Amino acid sequence: MSLFASRETRILFNQRVPLRDGVTLSADVYLPSEPAKGKWPVILMRTPYQKASNATAAMAMDFNRHGYVFVAVDVRGRGDSDGTFTPYRNEGPDGYDTIEWCAAQPWSDGKVGTIGGSYPGRIQWLAALEQPPHLKTMIVSVAPSDPFVETPTGLPSPMHLCWLHLVSGRVNQPMETINWEEVYQHLPLLTMDEQTGRVIEAWRAEIAHPQLDDYWQPLCYQKKFDRVNLPVLHISGWYDDEQIGTPLNYIGMTTTGAPAARDKQRLLMGPWGHNVNGASKLGEVDFGSQAIIDLRAEQVRWFDRWLKGIEHNDAPVRIFIMGDNVWRDEQEWPLARTRWTPYYLHSQGKANSRFGDGVLTPEKPADNQPQDTYTYDPARPVPFMTEPTSSQIGGPDDYSAILRRDDVLVYTTEPLTEDVEVVGPIRVELYAASSAPDTDFNAMLIDVWPNGFRQRLCDGMVRARFREGMEQPSLIEPGRVYQYTIDCWNTSQVFKQGHRICLMLSSSAFPKYDRNLNTGAPLGQTTEMAVAEQRIYHDAEHPSAIILPIIPR
């Protein structure tokens, strides 16, 4: 049956939304058709991905059936909207003007909620900071974080260029026409855009600002939650490649948001990638029959609560427990009953590869443990397993082959005698020295199955020059031991009996992160490389460890 066979929707195409600077945006308005005339609460989605799609129409009609007007808008410079698209730069004021336009229309009852994921998620936050009076609630999915939270190297991920190519021009550009693996190899990073056949000004502007400075401040929202007095439904997946932002936003709103909004937040985390609720199987791992939920019903319940006043008593946190493959309701995030447990690194100096002697235990290391060493050559970086486009960066992939390399260190527990539940933020406290004036350290948490499958769970990166924050870069003294904290994001995994907990350390994860060339030169501008000799310490004075949020079973 045709998508448009429904009698429950009337559509007003290409309605023009005037902005304060004279630019107009294009809006498609989906109206409930019964009664023929009326006023309804409005759900607004602003997107750079072209509002005119069957997927958007299907979502709009779902909300129409539940008594909502749905408004889909092309952002400035994209699709049928006027103006020039500059990622994120106009989205706060443009969002304010669009929300207030929706509230003033004859079919609106004056209450507006917003919805969207990824770019349409982050721009909801930028609009909320403008405090439009008729915005009542938001559903934000897989929202990117502030600059450098996801890529704390001072530079955009090489794979970000794929996205910038996609949104070049007014319509989506085909990503499959470009050999991205070849593009990512190009140096210097500054001119990598030319390998796509175009010069992309946004790419060059980002590389010109390799630290958190005034250029980035208009795009920051995660330290401004005190200006947001809204109920928010936060949605992401454990394998979302921008996952780190969603739990941080929930924590931010429940602790530093406007006081009246702090108890009006909800967090929903599934076993999903960036395309939330898309399939029960991701990569080689099937998360079972419960992995897919009626997400539309969750969204409708949220809007019913905050746009129609229909009460419900849903738990503030609902998370999927991988390994057990079940959903569980919780009252907070991180969980109050968490036991923050260090698992310390041990070896006799030969932890290189999965065939080495690296061990992970809760016992602190002794005084006489030798250091582990490896060589990091940026011309031969450790691969991060992913498809070449930026649609989904990584997943529950098998790292068995990667762990054969001598330029990775591997620390693994004995087979577990009982299930161990790890749910929450993961971090690594690492003591390390390098022969280079600047270098990187990467950490990855892995579940080793009895059959040898080594499932990536989560990972993170630290760049030595940014060890004290993205605002104040400083090079390191070669040979000196420094303590580094590596944020490995979050996971929710039951390591089953017989499995082993594994930590992999390296100095690259390419192309998820750009390669550190080890020279200390200005970032993104040069091609010269140097080989770095890395030394990892784990003794009584330098107790390197991964801190696991263990939940009592």
Quick: pLDDT tens for 122-161.
999 999 999 999 999 999 999 999 999 999 999 999 999 9
Residue 26, Cβ density class (10 Å: 0-12 exposed, 13-18 middle, ≥19 buried): buried
| Digit-coded pLDDT (tens) for 295-350 | 999 999 999 999 999 999 999 999 999 999 999 999 999 999 999 999 999 999 99
pLDDT for position 459: 98
Q: How many CB atoms lie within 10 A of CB 439?
A: 28
Q: Which of 97, 193, 240, 487 is catalytic?
A: 240
User: Does the pLDDT at position 34 exceed 90?
Assistant: no
- What is the C-alpha end-to-end distance of the chain, expressed in Å? 49
Reported as type and span, the H/E element at residue 454 is strand 454-463
How many percent of the chain have pLDDT more than 90? 97
Query: Which one-letter amino acid corresponds to residue 406?
Result: D
Q: Taking all residues of the chain, what is their mean pLDDT, rounded to a whole number?
A: 97
234 is catalytic: no
274 is catalytic: yes
Contacts 24+ apart (CB under 8 A), 107-110: 107/29, 107/31, 107/38, 107/39, 107/40, 107/69, 108/39, 108/40, 108/41, 108/42, 108/69, 109/39, 109/40, 109/41, 109/42, 110/134
Query: Which one-letter amino acid corresponds to residue 255?
Result: T
User: Does the pLDDT at position 411 exceed 90?
Assistant: yes
Sign of the alpha-carbon torsion through 267, 273, 277, 279: negative
Residue among 489, 431, 490 at smallest CA distance from 464: 431
Contacts of 490 (CB under 8 A, 6+ apart): 238, 243, 244, 247, 269, 424, 425, 426, 458
User: Does the pLDDT at position 400 exceed 90?
Assistant: yes
User: Does the pLDDT at position 36 exceed 90?
Assistant: no
Cα 467 from Cα 485, distance rounded (Å): 8
Cα 305 from Cα 313, distance rounded (Å): 10
pLDDT for position 38: 86
pLDDT for position 102: 98
pLDDT classification of 55: cutoffs 50, 70, 90: very high
Q: The tokens of 322 are what?
A: 């991988």
pLDDT for position 368: 87
Report yes or no: 188 and 527 within 8 Å, Cβ to Cβ. yes
Contacts of 225 (CB under 8 A, 6+ apart): 249, 252, 253, 256, 257, 258
Domain limits, the chain: 7-141, 339-550
- List phi, psi (to 5°) of 128: -60, -35
User: Does the pLDDT at position 3 exceed 90?
Assistant: no
Contacts of 1 (CB under 8 A, 6+ apart): none
pLDDT for position 1: 36
Furthest CA-CA distance within the chain? 81
Contacts of 237 (CB under 8 A, 6+ apart): 142, 243, 269, 270, 271, 272, 273, 274, 276
pLDDT for position 35: 59
Q: Which of 160, 165, 234, 274 is catalytic?
A: 274
Cα 140 from Cα 252, distance rounded (Å): 14
Sign of the alpha-carbon torsion through 362, 367, 370, 375: positive
Report yes or no: 222 and 140 within 8 Å, Cβ to Cβ. no
Report yes or no: 415 and 433 within 8 Å, Cβ to Cβ. no
391 is catalytic: no
Domain 7-141: which CATH number of 3.30.360.10, 3.40.50.1820, 3.50.50.60, 3.40.50.410: 3.40.50.1820
Cα 428 from Cα 443, distance rounded (Å): 7
Distances (CA, A) of 395 to 273, 284, 407: 7, 9, 22
DSSP classification of residue 175: S
Query: Which one-letter amino acid corresponds to residue 201?
Result: E
SS3 state of residue 95: helix
Q: The tokens of 360 are what?
A: 């992970």
Reported as type and span, the H/E element at residue 245 is helix 245-255
**DSSP H stretches of helix in 108-213:** 119-128, 160-166, 180-184, 201-207
Residue among 174, 172, 169, 176 at smallest CA distance from 52: 172
Mean pLDDT calculated for residue range 77-99? 98
User: Does the pLDDT at position 447 exceed 60?
Assistant: yes
pLDDT for position 126: 98
How many percent of the chain have pLDDT more than 70? 98
Class of CATH domain 339-550 = mainly beta
Strand partners, 340: 549
Q: Which of 118, 157, 434, 508 is catalytic?
A: 118
Length of the chain: 553
Contacts 24+ apart (CB under 8 A), 223-226: 223/146, 224/129, 225/249, 225/252, 225/253, 225/256, 225/257, 225/258, 226/256, 226/257, 226/258
User: Does the pLDDT at position 183 exceed 80?
Assistant: yes
